[in-house]
Amino acid sequence: MVKWIVIGALVLGVIILVASSVRVLRRLPGLKRAMDKAQRRQADAMKLQQSGTVLEQTLAGLQQRADITRERLAVIPRGPWKVISMVACAIPHLLSETFPAPDEPTASGGGRRRKPHVRLTRTPRSP
């Protein structure tokens, strides 16, 4: 009789073990999907990290190029308008040395001197 009690307890234990393992086995596909999803996210995170590193290197290179360009621009005058304004400021000074002002009397002593008419012509290009 003790023998049947032991056999009954063992059968009951096996039934409980099978029932609990079936519940775990039902959850395995969901756990596998979750694991795959986690692995994909980890791979994406690694790719993003590598892209971020490349982006940082590119940004550092661009910053260095911008610094070099700023240094070079500091040496160059402030564009064509600066050159034009420098020439425009120099022209009256140069003209006053070459031509007297209209209010100044001429060496012959009479009246005002007329400004000479300057004709601009194109120079032929040499081949």
- Is residue 112 helix, strand or coil? strand
Cβ atoms of residues 113 and 102 within 8 Å: yes
pLDDT at 117 over 90: no
* 46 vs 81, residue with greater confidence: 46
What's the pLDDT score for residue 1? 82
What would you report as the CA-atom Rg of the chain, rounded to the nearest whole angstrom? Answer: 47
pTM: 0.40
What's the pLDDT score for residue 91? 65
Cβ atoms of residues 86 and 77 within 8 Å: yes
Q: pLDDT per residue over 49-93, tens digit each?
A: 999 999 999 999 889 988 888 887 777 666 556 666 666 666 665
104/40 Cα distance (integer angstroms): 90
Q: Compute CA distances 105 → 93, 94, 99, 111, whole Å.
A: 19, 19, 12, 6
